[in-house]
Structure 1
Amino acid sequence: MTARSIRLRLLLAGAAAIGLALALAAGGLALLFDRHVERVAVADLDSRFLALAAAIEPDANGKPVLRSTPIDPLYMQPLSGHYWQIRLGDQVQRTRSLWDYTLPLPETPPAPGTATVLTLPGPRGEALLVLDRSLRFGTRPEAPLLRLTLATDRAELAAARQAFLAELLPYLALLGSALIAASAVQIGVGLRPLAATRARVADLAAGRRRRMGADLPEEVMPLAAEIDGLLEARAAELARARARAGDLAHGLKTPLQALEGDADRLRQRGEGEIATSIATIVTAMRRHVERELTRARLLTDPRHAETAVMPVLRKVVAVLQRTPQGEDTEWVLSGAEDLRARIDAADLTELLGALLENALRHATERVTVQASSGAEELCLSIRDDGPGAPPDLLHLLTQRGLRLDEAGHGIGLAIVADIAEAAGGRIELANADPGFEARVWLPLVA
């Protein structure tokens, strides 16, 4: 896949969206986990508050005193990260783990019976999760106010969050991979109609279909309709162009024949120089007419044409056999009857006519025509037993105007080359031993 691939773009966009969604999900889950862990930690501090409050009893004068310190190794170890602090009036009692550090509580205590959750610095500068509560020791309004504060190191909460994310990320990565794979499958299924459209276009190019058709998915039907419209317009334009070229050629044939007749009459009167000049002009004009016909033929679409080769070959040979030279020539034809070429029948007739006329003109006794097929091409071999052509001129024989003799107009082989090229084939000329051989390859209809 390249940077211009729709599949790659959709896959990258889907992967980016999935990655963003999973990142947001991981952030959301981490936030929810933080809040849950903090609630659990606050609940634990609250339960420790109750145990600590239960250890406060009145003395002989009715004043609150801490009779017994809760036995907990976490509060006995200095700087353990777990602390409590009690303010009894002006007196402050604190756990051994705080050592000589006093928690920097707000001046105003929370209302009796309420609690405040704070974040305060600890003895080592660490962030502490603090539960600050107040209560009255007794039921009278003048009963002394007690302020109990419990704290735990937030580093433990952060460690729990890191451990949660460490366990969560592999699962998110696995989920992301599964979602990207599912997205790839979804994209493949979604783009499958484009493959069908591509196959239709390939069938158009190969001549297996004439139009895209109307049985494609709704999303690609506008494209298919536009392609079919272009094909219809192109076919109509080709037909008009060929008709115009044909009209031009046929319109010029009669005047050219009249000029040839005038040239013959002038020659008979002894005006040879004028007759030769007129004949030269007529020949040049005839070449232009043939060129326009060939150009019109090149505009046709051979992909949908099919022509049986052997019937056309026999028809052309039958016409040539009615000529004086054709009657005296031996014709040897060979080839399978089911051979079909992807070329218009009229074009094949003109191609074979030009080649067979050329072979007949140079043959001594025999003209051999062989039709054979390969994997994707059909080969037509036309061979005479004449003197052949100069080797240094072989590559020039398909150029317009080149003649090795005075017969013809020097455009026959050029027309053959144009017709073969327009049909998607090619021509090869070579001297045989003896004679001259022309081989034409044309697309084969399977």
Structure 2
Amino acid sequence: MPWIDTQSSIRKSLLTLLLPAAIALMFAAWIVHGLLLERMARDFVEDRLQDEVAFLEHQLRQSGPDEIRDIAEGDYFEEVFHHAFAIRIGEQMHSSPELWTETLEPLLEEPQSGFVHQGDPGTDRAISEFLAYRKALTLNGRPVVIVVAEDLSTLQHSQQELHLWTAVVSGILLVLLLLAIWQAIRLSLRSVGRLQNGLKSLQTGASKRLDVKAPAEFQPLIRQLNQLLDTLDQRLTRSRDALANLSHSVKTPVSAIRQVLEDETRALDPEMRQQLAQRLSDIDRQLESEMRRSRFAGPQAGKAAKPVSQARDLLWMLGRLDADKNFELETDLAPDTRWPVEEHDLNEILGNLLDNAGKWSRQSTVVNLAENGEQLIITVEDDGPGVDQHAFSTLGKRGMRLDEQVPGHGLGLAITREITERYGGGMQFSKGTMGGLRVSVTLSRAQNG
């Protein structure tokens, strides 16, 4: 609906939609009530008129014409049935009450049976509009016509009064309905206030996670926010660990070089220069390793990754960094396939696995992307010397992060395992078909849907 601005306010949007709908439905119900009331009143009057004509016919057949004259002259019929009637037996005519005589006697001239609706509400006649039922029959060889009539102006006045009271009651119900809608909206949006307070607690440091009792519609949002907080915490932890490792590895050679350079009594002979150069090369390799891992991680772009595109970008980058080795991608996935994984996390997994495989491979590294039902599978293997099977159980543990100081398969595997477990998956090691190490990472699609 273009006339509803869904980006302005939930409360305003709901009121804009619900209030006119409630008013329109209540007005429609009032119109339908009027139509049904008129129809029911008309059916009721028609049934009563037919019953009373049947009564008069029965009286005529049981008592004869003389008793009908007594009924017409008295108040019996009017008191019992509250309707006017007229009877013609041969050339004799009888009617009651007298006010209806002028109106009903012309109807006795017609021998047809059925309902007659006559009158004009705009006239000055005493009976402006009426409904009558006329029945023609033969009694003892003489023609008889019976007419029973109802003054519709009185009935319509009663209908209008009832319809007016219905409008008043409908108005009261509408006000109560609007109050109920307003209260329902206010109570429903109360959880938004609790969510806002929870975010303020996160901002002030009073809490570390969103623990808000909210409706089911807000639970996916809360889970996504908590997952984002977990991701940020893990990245911060990894950054601090990497910084601590880098500081520890660089501190010693830097101190040694500084001592040598500050010692004015020691001459820089060729051997000493070579040692200093070697120390600086170690520092440069360590910094380059951390910078390369930072490039692999890539920017965060939301929880929707294109695995084929990201794998191709990483393989191209590795091919440029190490032109002597071959990096290949094998997959049956379409280029626009999306996985419910955050781009940063997928880049972290692919980058760490390819970095390890590339360092240990002799010539080739192959990455395979596949899907098996609800499982997302990433397989990386190389043609390097591989790892002894007894050491598979130690790969990927936090203690193996010390291997970052020396190139090897331990680089980043602990981080990769942590990300994999967060997505409801696992990481397995085996011997590859090319002779090197094969690492298989499995992620759960359902865990992230």
> What's the TM-score bracket when you normalise by the shorter of the two chains?
0.3 to 0.5
**TM-score (normalizing by structure 2):** 0.40
Which one has a larger percent helix, Structure 1 or Structure 2? 2
**TM-score (normalizing by structure 1):** 0.40
Q: Report which of the two structures shows the higher radius of gyration computed on alpha carbons.
A: 1
